[in-house]
Amino acid sequence: MKEYQHILLNKDWVKTNEYKAQTGRSKKAPDKSRKDQYDFLSGSYRDVIAAIHAKYAELENQNIKVANGTYIDFDLYADSINLNSFDTKKGGVLMNIQNAANNDGILKSTLFIPNDNASWLPKKLEEYSNPEKDRKNEKTGEVSPRNQRMINSIIAIKSSSLSSFFPPEYSDSVESIPANMVIPYEFWIEKKGLENKAFFTALDRLKIRYNINSLCFENISVFLVFATKEQLEKAILCVDYLSEIRPYKQPSILTKIESVKEEDDWCDIIKNDVVQTNELSARIGILDSGVNNGHPLLCDYLPQERCRTVINSTIRDRSNHGTGMAGLALYGDLTDVIYSHKPCIVNHDLASVKIMPANDEKPNDPDLYGVITEDAIDNANKLGANIMCMAITAESVLDGDASSWSSALDRSIYKDGINSELMFVSAGNIYSTDGVAYPDFNINNPIGDPAQAWNAITVGAYTEKCLISDPTYSEKQVLAPKGGLSPYSRTSVLWGKKCIKPEIVMEGGNAYDESGNLIPHDDLSLITTSSKIDFHKFDRFNATSAATALASNLAARIKTENPALSNESIRALMIHSSEWTQGMIECAKTDDGKVSLDALMHSCGYGTPVERKALKCNDNYVVFIVENEIFPLEEGKNKNVKFASMHYYDLPWPKDILLDLGEKDVRMKITLSYYIDPAPGRRAWKNKHLYQSLGLRFDVNTDLENKDAFLKRVSRLQQEEEEGDFSSRNDTQRWHIGIQRRNQGCIHSDWIKGTAASLANCNMVAIYPVGGWWKYNKEKVKCSIKYSLVVSLETPDMEIYSEIKQLVDIATAISVS
């Protein structure tokens, strides 16, 4: 079968349609007795303020200046609350939000109420209680108390405690913090808290040591502090605009693998087998433990001037990890290279930036790890790297929320939306089953920080390696079936409806269980270059580190094949070309034999990339790629920020061929890739306080929809998402994954598999924006979002490429003339 280049459509194919908001549906306030609610909340507020002022008096007696406001916890009904009403210039400032433990539908929020706004809540309560202030609905004539929705959504008012500032997974353990032990923490400070150096003054008075370096985001900064529990308890009474306190985690390399000796002369055989057919257009930056570039298989592709370190250690790899990553990123699995009957094609090279010392080297200074990663990416850029590869993770992320490290990674990849990065990060590894059966122990081990970063492609592991030839191990039973999830791979199943992580899986090897430990074997591992070149040249390698290196290798080949494509497009093609193996599907089956799509996607993402689909089209598989940018916001009549427009495409479509195919199955697949501008912190949990700058979504017209009906439906979908109403989004009868499930994160992919006749008229694709923190920032009105849209059409046995290419060429010629 012939192969062809992907079809790159220019911006002339896009049509901009003004966004017309549909009639909104407001959330109803819970029914409450006005008098009872007023009496309860007024009394609670007075008690809380009295308790806080008593603590303030104790500190002032010690000549310690207290905060210029008070922290108060509110328990709220999630289904009815409008969080905007709790975050106003004349009222409170919403510091963080979290689900109340074991209470569905209840939000726990912490507000900082500046002293100048101390009368805000009492005034709201007085207006609520006074019938003379009642509001009348002009349309229905219904009369209701002023501030009813806000006041009736409040379940309880409490004094904020130390646990109020810790993420939920740590709040229960706050009581067990040693009283007098100095422990490192991350302090997340809202921008206002840094005015006039008030934050540093407060820490100095409390004798809390801190690092002046910080990670600075749009509205929040993260500082590393060293404090006892007693100092923390005083800090929440003295520091203004404190959003969160998080334990600081020192990351570590997860993979430490013993090497095996191979024959040195294999290096010459491999080198002689290498063929270069194009100029080197891609360069992979290995952000790891350094690379020993003296290895005979690496030296030609990684000169000394492209090796750097951003930490206090030597450039050399002392951990036997980065060198292994480099070998896989350059060649792939050397076992495949040795046994292949085809030449080994290498059309990319490497750069190395060391970010992790070995155990016997001087450890990193106790600083925020995001700063080191940002520095490493910047250095790799200066060395010419256009693909980043990092397989270093820390502890599990229990809820999928952003950390300072993952937020820094998102920001470094986004790069102000101008020159975004392409970055692969490992999902993190498992080494013990803890006595749990496969694949349940994979589900019980959430992905490691910073792999929850939205903009990075997180890489998990699957395996095709299931046989051990060594007779000594003939009775050993490997854990994963052929094509199944690798035993080493962490998942995001426990996160619920958060980002789909990992997005893809690559070969990571298999293992057998021995007394609860995952034991590798040469036959179950990949083979790569060793850092211990004085003793042996090859090592076995496995887990998500190996998978991440292989992912960067494939991305480099896509870049070489399509050098003009943006990073958003290469990212999209990696996901778009991915498929689930039968082994992955089997791993996601429930006890009743049904496949859990959520478990499948949060374990294996969209599957493993199919190389031929990622690189080329063929006669019956056609890929359109559109690279564009949308200006989603504009200033409304009342100077508020509103959505401006959406894009839609009328794609060149082989309608006649599809109609001729009739009832034969055809698949249409769509992937939308873009980057978000992160706004970290737990206040970015819901409503306007979102982590993402803005989101983009896609949809396709049905075979019965004309343009007007289609765009009207899309406007309704946009409105529903703004209101948090997803009742009409479970469109799994048409879409395989479904609208609500696929819209997690900032890369979205889904497909329709139907008869050719039913898809003959489904050639209109809409791209529309949805909310994020940009929508509440007037400075972002003129900002744009770059995106890549990938659409493919796959027929069973009918050639469609030539006809579609002819349609594109004709349309292009007309537009030029």
* 780 token code pair: 């972002």
What pLDDT digit, counting tens, does each position of 379-402 carry? 999 999 999 999 999 888 888 888
Asked whether residue 548 carries a pLDDT value surpassing 70, the answer given is: yes
pLDDT-derived band of residue 252, with 50, 70 and 90 as boundaries? very low
pLDDT the model gives residue 278:
67
pLDDT of residue 313: 85
pLDDT, mean over the chain: 88
Residue 481 per-residue DSSP state: P
Lowest mean pLDDT among 31-40, 89-98, 414-423, 807-816: 807-816
| HEC secondary structure over 534-565 | CCCCEEEECHHHHHHHHHHHHHHHHHHHCCCC
| Better-scored residue on pLDDT, 712 or 23 | 712
Query: Is the pLDDT confidence value at 546 over 50?
Result: yes
pLDDT at 21: 55
| Lowest-confidence region among 25-29, 41-45, 194-198 | 25-29
Q: pLDDT category, 519, cuts 50, 70, 90?
A: very high
Provide the pLDDT confidence category of residue 250 given band limits of 50, 70 and 90. Answer: low
pLDDT of residue 731: 57
Q: How far apart are CA 807 and CA 802, in angstroms?
A: 9
Check residue 682 and give its pLDDT. 61
**Which token pair is 410?**
């998102």
Q: What percent of the chain has pLDDT over 90?
A: 57
Question: Mind listing the pLDDT tens digit for each residue in 108-160?
Answer: 899 999 999 999 999 999 999 999 989 888 777 788 899 999 999 999 999 99
How many residues are listed for the chain in this entry? 817
All domains in the chain, ordered by first residue = 3-24+620-816 (no CATH), 31-160 (no CATH), 169-248 (3.30.70), 266-604 (3.40.50.200)
From the CA atom positions of the chain, what is the Rg in Å? 28
User: What are the pLDDT digits (tens) for 663-712?
Assistant: 999 999 999 999 999 987 766 545 445 789 999 999 999 998 999 999 99
CB 596 within 8 A of CB 589: yes
Is residue 22 predicted with pLDDT exceeding 80?
no
Q: Residue 258 has what pLDDT?
A: 42
521 or 814, which is more confident? 521
Largest CA distance in the chain: 92
pTM metric for this prediction: 0.88
Classify residue 746 as exposed, middle or buried by CB count within 10 Å of its CB (0-12, 13-18, 19+).
Answer: buried
Contact call for residues 669 and 749 (beta carbons, < 8 A): yes
Q: Which residue has the higher pLDDT, 558 or 469?
A: 558
**pLDDT tens digits, 498-518:** 889 999 999 999 999 999 999
pLDDT, tens digit (0-9, with 9 covering 90-100), for 448-464: 999 999 999 999 999 99
Neighbouring residues of 326: CB distance < 8 A, sequence distance ≥ 6: 286, 291, 293, 298, 302, 350, 352, 529, 549
Q: Which residue has the higher pLDDT, 422 or 680?
A: 422
From 42-51, 197-206, 217-226, 538-547, the region with the lowest mean pLDDT? 217-226
pLDDT reading at 261 higher than 50? no
Closest of 259, 275, 114, 284 to residue 192, by C-alpha: 114
Q: What is the pLDDT of residue 740?
A: 86
pLDDT at 365: 67
Is pLDDT above 60 for 259?
no
pLDDT at 482 over 70: yes
pLDDT over 70 for what percent of the chain? 92
Beta-sheet strands, E only, within 591-690: 608-609, 617-618, 621-630, 633-635, 641-643, 645-650, 665-674, 685-686, 689-690
**pLDDT digits over 722-775, tens only?**
766 655 555 557 899 998 899 999 999 999 999 999 999 999 999 999 988 898
Would you report the helix, strand and coil content of the chain in percent, each value rounded to 5?
30, 25, 40
